[in-house]
Structure formats: C-alpha cells, structure tokens
Structure 1
C-alpha cells in the first residue's frame, strides 16, 4: 500500500493469499482524478487568477454560454466527493491489511499522513493553489484513529456531518449578507514562475481556507467510504446491488435535481451545491458506475472485450497520485505566463477552449499512465511515497 489511501492500489482476498487488485476501484479512482481536472481547469484558465471564479470574480468567456455553465456543473464537487469517498475505502483496506498482519494499526499509519501532508504542501507551493492532499492528510488521521471501534466510527461520522452542515449554513448566510467583490485577489496568470510561487505563500490564508470546509466533510466521507466497503456495496452480489440501488435513488434521484437547482440559482447557493448536495450525487455516481462495471465484468468473463476506456481509466486509477500532480503541472504550463500563457491569450474568448484544454490534458495523462504501467508496477509518485513511508507494494 502507498501512503495515500485514495490513490493506493486496492487489493482484497483471504488471509493467506496475495490480494488481487480491485479493478472497480481503480476505474472509479481514474474517473475521480480526471474529474477533478474538470473542475480545476477553470481555475487554471481564468484570466483573473485561480481565486476569481471560486471567490466571486470573473471567469473565462462571457459567463452566459450554456455549455460553460454545464461543463462547470457536471464536475463541480462531484469528482472531489468520489475521490474523497475512495480515500475512505483505501484507508479501510489498509486497516484490514494491518489487522491481518497483526500489526499496530495507528502507530504504523502515522508516517503516512505526515508524508501526505508534506507532499500536499509541496504541491501547493510549487504547482497548484487548490491542493486537497493537505486536507486529506489531516482528515485521514482523524478517520484512522476511530476505525477500530464501530460505535465510535458512527458517532464521529455523524458529528463530522453535523459540523459540516453547520459550517456550510454559516458560509451561506455570510455570503448572503456580504456578496463578494470582483477584485478578490490580484491576478498572476501572466506573472513569471517565481512571482506565482511568492503569491501562493503570501496568500496562503485565502487559498488554504478550503481546508476548513474540507476537513469535517472529508472525515465524514472517509468513514462513509469505509462503511460502504464493509457493507458489501462494491461487491457483485444481490446485497451489494440492493445497496447501490438505494444509493442511486438518494444521489441521482433526490440530490441531483437539488444540486442542479442550486447551480442554476447561483450566488450564495454555491456552497450548498459544491459541499452538501454534490457529495450525495458523487455517492450515487459511484453506485451507478460500480453496477455498470460489474455487468461489464461479467460480460468480459464470458469472453467479451474489456474495453479501451475501462483500461485507460484503470491505468489512471493505478497511478492516481502521479496523474493528479501531472495534470495540474501540465495545466499550469499551458495556462500560466511562465508557459504558453493560454489563460491571458484566450481567457476573453469563447470558453470552448477550456473543455478542449481538459480533453488534451486528460489524453496526455491517460497515455502517460498506460505507457508507464507497461514498464513499471506503479506510478513514480506512488513509488516515492512507499520509500518515504517504508511500505512495500503487496
């Protein structure tokens, strides 16, 4: 296992065998990684800087095109929720592995969030303003400390969810009373690399503020992911199918229309859209995709093709941490002034270039992941994490 549970290759099996890879989780993780870029690419491409769209400033294009609004809504909060849920699954699989080996779980785990936090800090300073790894490290430590006790897990999950809902309510109320101005932070899309690096350090309080929102949400989603794994929701069984149908009803039948309504309303509803309803939609998407993949796997077992799309997504999922870093680095080089400067050159034009930019970076990511895995067993960032934490691939 690697240090990052959300990005780790997951394996299951009996106590005496080497655990086979869970292909469904790899594919879901690949979807989540590429989906996070679907949200982040708009921050990279914004000519007014990476904080403008999130905190009330301008955005690429006129902002009135239906396809821009749709592209933003499709990914906003959903991919983050899927990735966070999968972190909880990976965390629980690490816990099960430690239990089978008879090791001390929390004591053996402590180095992993420390390394993940350091990786996130480096990623924030060097590459990307809205890094999530630092928040995952802190939330993972909280979730890991309660995995041993079922009742404690439930209590912490409920408390985390309650704190998160209360925090979103406070943020929404504040937004209603204090609409943001256009000039949130100075734009630095045209600045050189050193100026951007200094800007991230100077404005860390703003750019790291999302961690406050993500912490209780992530703890709840981690424990939810662990609970879903324990319940058999990812299994190809009748019980697993029933659980997934309920999750699809909640996430896609109930939460999705509300999420869409909040997106259309805009304004202060953006907090509830991204941080309250989007996680529920993400859970529904996980259930739907898992069911689809289970059916596809049965056809493949019967002699049908496994599919290039599935193999590509699984490759990204197996090298998730590496792909997450690579896609943000590529988007920075393409959009910022120290690279091609597309944000400044094309930011006032039709926003069609932003989806095209997303597709391009996704294509490079998929090609790089598949090429790398033909030669190595795991991604370069994953290998570094294993060395830093002293863990081995199993």
Structure 2
C-alpha cells in the first residue's frame, strides 16, 4: 500500500469545523497587522486608537481572540501528526520520510508567504515545531499531557515574572517616554512604506519585521509546542466521552477566561504600573492556551448536541480548505491595504478591521462551497499533498464522486 490523502468519508468532521473556526479567529487577529503597524501600536504605553468603539474592540479581541486561535491550530497540528503516524503503523507504511517531506514543503510555503506577502506567517513556525515534535510524539499519552502542562505553566510564569520585574524595577517608567517616541517613529515609517512604497521596499520591510518578530523564536517555541503536545495527547486518547469533556470544559473555563479577565480588569492601569502588562503576559500565554482548549470543548459539545448544524457546516467547509484559506487571507488583505493594491494601510482602526475580516471570511465560505462541489480538495492542499506523497493527486471530481 502507498501513501495517499485521507478520503472524504474518513475525515473527522469536528476537526474540519475546528480548523474553519481557527482560520476565522486567526484572520480577526491578523487583520490588525494587515491594516496597520500593530506591533509598535501594541507596544505604546497609551491607546493609539482613542475612539471608544476602537478601544473596546481591542479589549474584546484581546479577551476572546488574541492568542486563542493560533494555539487551537497548534493543537490540531499535533492531533493530525498522531493520526498520520497511527495510519502509517496500521498500514505498514514508513512515517518519517513522508512526514519530513510534508514539513519541508510546509516550510517552503511559509518562506514564500513571508517573502512575497506578509511577515506574520505561522507556517514556518509550524514546520519547525512539527519536526521538533518528532522528539515527543512516541511518548505515552499521559507523558505528553504532563510535559505540555509543565512547559506552558513554566513558560507563562517566566514571562509574567519578567514583565513584573521590568515594571517594579522602575525601568518601564524611566524608559517609557523614549520608547514611545521610538514606537511612534516605527508607526510613521511603517505606514509610509506599506501605503506608498514600492514592492521592493515593502519586501525589505516585511523581511525586517519577520526577523524582529522571530529573534526570540526559542521563547515563542515554548508557547506553541505545549499545544502540539496537547493535540497529540487528545489523538492518542481517542474519543472523549461527554462527561469527561464537560469536566475539562469547567476546568478550562476557570483557567482560560479566568486568566484573561485580569487584563480586562487592569486595562485602566495600562502604562501606569505593573498590573496591566503582567496580567496581559499571563493571559496571553497561559490564558490563551487554556481558552483554546475551552473553545475546543465547547465546539465539540455543541456539535455533538446537534445544534447550529448549518453554522458548523459553513466552518466545516472552510476548514477542509484551511491551508488555501489561510494563505488567501494574506493575499487579499495585503492587496487591500498595501500600496500595490488599494493602499489603505494605516487608514482604519480595529472595528473597521473586524468588519473587513468578516466580509473576507464570508467570501471564503462561498468560494469554498463552490470549489468543493467541483474539486476534492483546496488548490494549495492539492499542491501540498502532491509534493508530500510524490504523486500527482486527483483533484477534479467525477460525476460519480459528485453524486
């Protein structure tokens, strides 16, 4: 038997739904960076967008979205890795060469994404973390769970303590004025380049931003890898009964929203003392991971209850083309905001960004519905699988497969 993609009848519907929801959540977060210089804006000690509707949009995004969906997608990658390895074992296939080729192709896609479209790519990270997961994926399921919990708790505590000490030492306030000036200059420069610059200038700026974003990759790794481990644990455990899911739901309700709530409560103290930034650090790292699991439990329980079938079906369809939809979001969004397109970079605040994200995702739902009526998989999924398995995959549906 040779490697081939999973057939449509073998797909796990809940995983496709989760992928679709994760893709929408990632777009909501990424839109702030597509539409403007989000990194230096977030680093300011004051609110750059001072309209109440933009302030509250930011607060709600931080609580419900920021850090919650990149972790969900990480969970799904870890889950998928175990499914792939178990499938290989069951069919006496060689797992490692195909998996490494799969990750290498993903790395190439990520590099092209960074080079030609957007600096905030996550595919390079997933390609690297996936290869690191080869050190862990054979561990017993309980070892995967414990390792992930220890890693995310230690990393989140470390980052929060660093933030707390930075503020309580007096360094934050003493450097605040000069840092604000530096970030304001970065904002002006970024808006000028992305809204008016040539494609070459934008590419240079994109590479610089990607380098800045990933200079602390090892720290970032400890925030992503635990979710891969949790996904691997869930795949090895197999089916979760509703009773177990409800218990996990209750626990992560406390640990997820409970952790992120402090940043909302301490929001008025932003730029004044240690409370907001320390709460934000803990909420983003630990709270984001727990919120992701809380969402996963909620979605699976709702799906099993039979409610919101039509809504879940829309996410299922986009989730089947998650790879294509993720990269398409970057292509469309950068065209809207960059100078080689409509040049609207830096023109709009968070609320407008959310509305644009909803429109883009709605169009992706329609496109995915049309595409999957005619083809078996997304166009970029087809390229990825063809290169991974070393064999041209069937793409167009026949009349028999449609019926």
Q: TM-score range by the shorter chain?
A: 0.7 to 0.9
**1:302-317 matched pairs, under 5 angstroms:** 306-307=309-310, 309-317=311-319
* Structure 1, gaps ≥5 residues long: 12-17, 300-304
- Kindly indicate whether the alpha-carbon contact (under 8 Å) linking 1:113 and 1:141 is maintained by their aligned counterparts in 2: yes
Provide the residue aligned with 1:165 in structure 2: 156
1:72 CA drift (Å): 4.1
RMSD, aligned CA: 2.9
User: SS of the counterpart of 1:87?
Assistant: helix
C-alpha separation in 2, matches of 1:383 and 1:389 = 10
Q: Does 1:363 align with 2:362?
A: yes
Provide the residue aligned with 2:223 in structure 1: 217
Any idea what the Cα deviations from partners look like across 1:54-112, whole Å, max 9, x if unmatched? 44388773264323422343211111121111111111111111111223333432112
Provide the residue aligned with 2:206 in structure 1: 200
275-284 or 257-266: bigger deviation: 257-266
- Kindly indicate whether the alpha-carbon contact (under 8 Å) linking 1:43 and 1:50 is maintained by their aligned counterparts in 2: yes
User: SS of the counterpart of 1:372?
Assistant: helix
Change (3 A) 1:109 1:92: same
Q: Does 1:78 align with 2:68?
A: yes
User: SS of the counterpart of 1:377?
Assistant: coil
C-alpha separation in 2, matches of 1:135 and 1:200 = 16
- Kindly indicate whether the alpha-carbon contact (under 8 Å) linking 1:167 and 1:213 is maintained by their aligned counterparts in 2: no
Structure possessing the higher radius of gyration over alpha carbons: 2
**1:1-12 matched pairs, under 5 angstroms:** none
Counterpart of 2:325 (choices 323, 326, 334) is: 323
- Kindly indicate whether the alpha-carbon contact (under 8 Å) linking 2:144 and 2:230 is maintained by their aligned counterparts in 1: no
Q: Does 1:248 align with 2:253?
A: no
User: SS of the counterpart of 1:345?
Assistant: coil
Provide the residue aligned with 1:284 in structure 2: 294
1:259 CA drift (Å): 0.5
C-alpha separation in 2, matches of 1:10 and 1:282 = 26
Provide the residue aligned with 1:137 in structure 2: 127
C-alpha separation in 2, matches of 1:163 and 1:257 = 18
Change (3 A) 1:336 1:242: same
C-alpha separation in 2, matches of 1:241 and 1:182 = 53
Change (3 A) 1:117 1:55: farther
C-alpha separation in 2, matches of 1:120 and 1:69 = 30
Any idea what the Cα deviations from partners look like across 1:296-329, whole Å, max 9, x if unmatched? 1xx7xxxxx941x222111111000100001122
TM-score by length of 2: 0.81
- Kindly indicate whether the alpha-carbon contact (under 8 Å) linking 2:323 and 2:381 is maintained by their aligned counterparts in 1: yes
Q: Does 1:62 align with 2:50?
A: yes
C-alpha separation in 1, matches of 2:357 and 2:343 = 15
Change (3 A) 1:346 1:285: closer
Q: Does 1:51 align with 2:39?
A: yes
Any idea what the Cα deviations from partners look like across 1:144-179, whole Å, max 9, x if unmatched? 332223176456535633552355236524653445
* Greater per-residue helix proportion: 2
Q: Does 1:117 align with 2:107?
A: yes
- Kindly indicate whether the alpha-carbon contact (under 8 Å) linking 1:130 and 1:208 is maintained by their aligned counterparts in 2: no
- Kindly indicate whether the alpha-carbon contact (under 8 Å) linking 1:171 and 1:271 is maintained by their aligned counterparts in 2: no
Number of corresponding residues: 364
C-alpha separation in 2, matches of 1:391 and 1:170 = 48
Any idea what the Cα deviations from partners look like across 1:3-55, whole Å, max 9, x if unmatched? 9xxxx9877xxxxxx96211111011100001001111112222xx2422344
C-alpha separation in 2, matches of 1:59 and 1:144 = 42
C-alpha separation in 2, matches of 1:34 and 1:218 = 19
Q: Does 1:227 align with 2:233?
A: yes
Change (3 A) 1:160 1:35: same
Provide the residue aligned with 2:277 in structure 1: 267
C-alpha separation in 2, matches of 1:96 and 1:210 = 33
C-alpha separation in 2, matches of 1:31 and 1:155 = 27
1:289 CA drift (Å): 0.7
1:133 CA drift (Å): 1.1
Counterpart of 2:32 (choices 42, 53, 56) is: 42
Change (3 A) 1:90 1:10: farther
Q: Does 1:23 align with 2:24?
A: no
Change (3 A) 1:194 1:27: same
Change (3 A) 1:254 1:109: closer
